Every structure is written in C-alpha cells, then in structure tokens.
Amino acid sequence: MVLSTQPVSIVNTKTCATLANTKHPFMLVLERGENLFKALLECAKQVNLKSASIYGLGALDDVSVAYYHLDRKEYDIKLFNGMYELISLQGNITRVDDQPFLHIHAAIGLPDHSVMGGHIMDATVGPTAEITIIPFEASIHRKHSDAIGLKLMCPGF
C-alpha cells in the first residue's frame, strides 16, 4: 500500500510549524528530555492536524503505563523509572472539545529483555523517539461514554 508519492519530511518540535496544514505523512524526531505528550500535542497544534495515526520507536524514560479496569471504570497506573526501549508505539490524535487528544499504547523493552506494555499515560523521551505521523483529512471526535467511562470515538460526528 502506497500512502504518498511525496518525499517524507522529517521535523522536530522546533520545526513542526513548517508543515502547517500538510496532508502528507511525516516523521517527528524527539530529543532526550522532551515530554512525549507535550511534544506530540504541540506539534499537532503547529501542524494544524485534524486527526492522525501515529507510530513510533526509540527509547523512553520514566514511563507511566496503565491498565483500564472496565468494571471499576478506572486505570491502574504503574511508573517505570529509568530508561526503556520503545519497541512499538501505536496511537492516534483525535479531537476533544476541538483540541488535540492523544491515545497511545506501547510495548517497552525492559533491561532483562522482557517486554511489557499498555496504555501510556506519560513518558519522557530517552535518547530519541522517532514518531511517524499520518494525517487524516477529516477530524475524528471523541465524547465521554458514561457506560464505558472513557472518551470514545464518535463515528459520523
């Protein structure tokens, strides 16, 4: 599947604005010490993303990973201090109250070579994080579901 015949642009948080209103996939390279969520949200605003899919790899420090308990409608959050390999990051950027909203899951590699993962609540970039962003032409909105306890996508919004 070919997503684009355009060359892929590579930006960082200082140069995201150069891709304002792009419809083409691009790579965001994050630097050590940047907050993963703040950097992605800032780039989404600068690029004026309506919605997007995101994928990534690299390394993260101090990763907060969550597991959602539907019966209690709450997350159990565990903080993993130190550096971990970002084996695979999957997620999306959608809209809540017309603001960018991140939903990220990831698999991280531990020092003993085991792997764990879940819903990422917060993380700091380790040596680097390389995030592929695939913009959508339309906005995807989320709305809180009382039945589930989460902000879910709203088809046909």
Q: Residue 120 and residue 62: Cα distance in Å, rounded?
A: 11
92 beta partners: 53, 103
Architecture field, domain 9-152: 2-Layer Sandwich (3.30)
Question: How do the domains of the chain map onto residue ranges?
Answer: 9-152
Q: Would you state the pLDDT for residue 155?
A: 85
DSSP strands (E only) in the chain? 9-11, 26-31, 51-69, 74-96, 99-109, 115-136, 142-145, 150-153
Using an 8 Å Cβ cutoff, are 64 and 122 in contact?
yes
What are the tens digits of pLDDT across the range 75-132?
999 999 999 999 999 999 999 999 999 999 999 999 999 999 999 999 999 999 999 9
What are the tens digits of pLDDT across the range 56-68?
999 999 999 999 9
Characterize 88-100 residue by residue with b for buried, 16 or more Cβ atoms within 10 angstroms of its Cβ, and e for exposed. Answer: ebebbbbbeeeeb
Q: Kindly tell me the sign of the dihedral angle through the C-alpha atoms of 130, 28, 36, 151.
A: negative
Percentage of residues in the chain having pLDDT higher than 70: 94
Q: Residue 23 and residue 11: Cα distance in Å, rounded?
A: 15
pTM of the model: 0.92
Percentage of residues in the chain having pLDDT higher than 90: 93
- Residue 78, CA atoms < 13 Å, CB-side half-sphere: 6
